[in-house]
Amino acid sequence: MADQGSTSRPRNEDGTVNWTVVFNDPDRGILAGISKATTKEHLSGLVAQIAPLLYQRKNDAKARAAFTAKMNDVVTAADEIGFDATRDRVRNAMVAERDRRIAEAKKYLANKRSSQSIERRKGNWSIGFKKLFFGTPVRLFSTLGAILLLITLGALSQIDFNEPSLEASKDPEKEAAKEPEDAKLAPTPSKKTSFMRKEVLYPVFMMKPVVFQVSGRRRSLVPVLVAPDIEEGSLICQLAPQFAESALFRTTAATNNAGSLDPKDLTSIASYLRKDTNAILNENLIKAVYLIDAQKLDGQALKAAYRGCGMHNLKVRPEDLHGR
């Protein structure tokens, strides 16, 4: 990988990028290059080569810059946690990136095949319908005759052949005169007023909890993302592995520097995570990120979080949980 000097990517027969080769090739693959790195500077050079290899589309400039910045932050931590641990972190991040891209390629092919199948069925149905009703002159005239018969029957059904009913023969003026008297005799319906308290819910994305040691005590924080313009199971959950890696790195780095985490530290980490994720998405879709102590959440919320990524309707505003 270090000597490759090229951003060309092998492709499968279906036209998608062969990410298995890009990452796993024993000679030129990304993982092989990382395993051969021996210094922090070597890792930084690899990051500079990996970024243009992964992000090649016209609109990938922001995502490429965000990826480079994130990985350089990981490499910089080598001075604190050691080179071997840093290299393992870089490698784990690339394994997660490989798995995500392979899954996206499979999803793209499945959607493409499904769309093609639907189009074929539409075409076959249209052709079959035409042959069934209009394929020959006999069928054509038979179909037209059936349509005219239905139209005629529909028109006849609107004509009333019965004698006028007694209700219809009543004098309209006399009935109008009786109406006020009937209205006086009619009982006034009682008015019932019901009050229903509508519960307010706050839809958010619950991400995988970040577990770490601080001051000799195990702590678990749940990242909560506010993204009202994103539907469940779409963009956010595709980025869950990258988000988890970034959240763990920034939380651990802050703990190593300060020895503890106060509310200001959590707010700062959440702000970085929001900016990193929006940079990858190329849009400002993440409106807010909160790091909430797992002990403050109920069982249903934790269940959604431990799935790795899931939408959940909180009964309390996330900012209120964050500030408790």
Question: Which of the four pLDDT bands, split at 50, 70 and 90, describes residue 164?
Answer: very low
Q: Is the pLDDT of residue 298 over 50?
A: yes
Contact status, residue 321 vs residue 248, Cβ threshold 8 Å? no
Q: Is the pLDDT of residue 53 over 50?
A: yes
What SS3 state is found at 228?
coil
Q: For the segment 13-41, what is each residue's pLDDT rounded down to a tens digit?
A: 988 999 999 999 999 999 999 999 999 99
d(CA 191, CA 185): 18
What does residue 218 show for φ and ψ, rounded to 5 degrees?
-75, 130
- Mean pLDDT computed over 162-188: 51
23 CB-near residues (< 8 Å, 6+ apart): 29, 30, 31, 94, 95, 97, 98
Question: Which of the four pLDDT bands, split at 50, 70 and 90, describes residue 2?
Answer: very low
Q: For the segment 169-178, what is each residue's pLDDT rounded down to a tens digit?
A: 455 555 555 5
d(CA 60, CA 65): 8
pLDDT for 324 = 57
Written as six digits, the tokens of 265 are 């530290």
Helices 83-134, 40-54: inter-axial angle, 10-degree rounding: 10
Task: Provide the mean pLDDT of the chain.
Answer: 78
- Mean pLDDT computed over 51-67: 93
Q: Is the pLDDT of residue 195 over 70?
A: no
DSSP state of 307: T
pLDDT for 309 = 85
- E-state strands within the chain: 202-207, 210-214, 217-226, 288-293, 309-314
What does residue 16 show for φ and ψ, rounded to 5 degrees?
-80, 155
pLDDT for 169 = 47
Give CATH 3.30.479 domain extents, the chain: 202-323
For residue 306, which amino acid is it?
Y
**Which architecture, in CATH terms, is 202-323?**
2-Layer Sandwich (3.30)
Counting residues of the chain whose pLDDT is more than 70, the rounded percentage is: 67
- Please choose, from the candidates 285, 244, 252, 251, the residue with its C-alpha nearest in 3D space to the C-alpha of residue 268: 251
Contact status, residue 207 vs residue 225, Cβ threshold 8 Å? yes
pLDDT for 124 = 60
Alpha carbon separation from 300 to 123, 131, 294, 310 (Å, rounded): 46, 56, 12, 11
d(CA 277, CA 288): 11
